[in-house]
């Protein structure tokens, strides 16, 4: 194999690898997610559901999120979103739950956000965030928020699948991992305090993982291109001599 053909093949491999890495980084943005992805058992948290639009020719018009009733959350408040109507459903619990504030016999089981106009819908290539403040969080290892995303063409994407193994399901449900507190946690933090923390965590949790993946991919691509340029220069010098 000549040097020219070797360099040409190297260039093709570098380009293909770069596109593959950048392509793999994209799907992580496609799911409906809850941010932050981790909180403390028994604590309060401000949670944000991030909803990207996956359709090329339709807009997202509605988001429906189900809250668990087997491990209910006593306090749920919803942050207004301009251009979106909010409806909450409260359900009677099959088994009352004892909390610090007394016995809980009913809890919020569903929240629905509906766009009030075409201008407020989530257009292709855009995303929207919907925030709630909740607590105290149940003494369990996770909370699964099954979600339905409705598009203007009538399609409904059901983000309801729970991950049971190492492979992520096709339509994973937004899942909040819960960890035990250290004993120093303030379980009655104010909504304002948790909102500020969750806002920062929302950006870092979702974007840091994707940013690292993209950064590593770009770094590898740059290194490959640099090697290719060095090879071409060396070939030119050898040809000239």
Domain ranges in the chain?
A: 1-30+190-241, 32-189
Both tokens assigned to 202:
């929302």
- Of 241, 231, 187, nearest to 7 by C-alpha is 231
Residue 239 CA: distances (Å) to CA of 3, 77, 138, 233: 11, 72, 72, 10
pLDDT in single tens digits along all 241 residues of the chain: 555 554 455 444 444 444 444 444 444 457 999 999 999 999 999 999 999 999 999 999 999 999 999 999 999 999 999 999 999 999 999 888 877 777 889 999 999 999 999 999 999 999 999 999 999 999 999 999 999 999 999 999 999 999 888 888 999 999 999 999 876 554 444 444 444 444 444 444 444 444 444 444 545 554 555 555 555 555 555 555 5
Please tell me the predicted confidence (pLDDT) of residue 3. Answer: 52
What does the pLDDT read at residue 187? 47
- Cα–Cα distance list, 205 to 23, 35, 107, 108, 218 (Å): 20, 7, 28, 26, 20
Among positive and negative, which fits the CA dihedral 159, 194, 136, 130?
negative
E-strand ranges in the chain read 33-35, 38-40, 45-52, 60-66, 75-78, 84-99, 102-115, 127-135, 142-144, 147-151, 156-159, 175-179
Sign of CA pseudo-dihedral 21, 22, 23, 29: positive
First to last CA, the chain: 21
The whole-number pLDDT of residue 95 equals 84
Strands 60-66 and 147-151: antiparallel
Architecture of domain 32-189: Sandwich (2.60)
Rounded-to-integer distance, Cα 233 and Cα 30, Å: 41
Strand order in the sheet with 175-179: 38-40, 175-179, 142-144
């Amino acid at each position: 194999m000549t040097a020219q053909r070797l360099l040409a093949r190297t260039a093709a491999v570098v380009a293909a690898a770069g596109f593959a890495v950048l392509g793999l980084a994209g799907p992580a943005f496609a799911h409906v997610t809850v941010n932050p992805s981790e909180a403390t058992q028994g604590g309060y948290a401000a949670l944000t559901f991030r909803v990207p639009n996956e359709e090329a020719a339709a807009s997202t018009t509605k988001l429906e999120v189900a809250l668990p009733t087997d491990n209910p959350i006593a306090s749920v408040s919803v942050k207004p979103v301009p251009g979106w109507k909010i409806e909450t459903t409260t359900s009677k619990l099959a088994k009352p739950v004892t909390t610090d504030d007394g016995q809980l016999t009913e809890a919020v089981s569903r929240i629905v956000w509906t766009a009030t106009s075409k201008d407020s819908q989530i257009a292709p290539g855009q995303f929207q965030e919907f925030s709630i403040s909740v607590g105290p969080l149940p003494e369990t290892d996770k909370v699964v928020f099954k979600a339905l995303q409705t598009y203007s063409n009538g399609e409904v994407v059901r983000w309801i699948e729970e991950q049971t193994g190492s492979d992520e399901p096709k339509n994973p449900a937004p899942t909040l991992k819960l960890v035990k507190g250290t004993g120093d946690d303030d379980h009655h933090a104010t909504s304002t305090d948790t909102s500020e923390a969750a806002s920062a965590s929302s950006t870092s949790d979702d974007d840091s993982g994707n940013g690292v993946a993209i950064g590593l991919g770009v770094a590898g691509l740059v290194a490959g291109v640099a090697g290719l340029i060095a090879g071409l220069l060396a070939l030119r010098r050898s040809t000239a001599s």
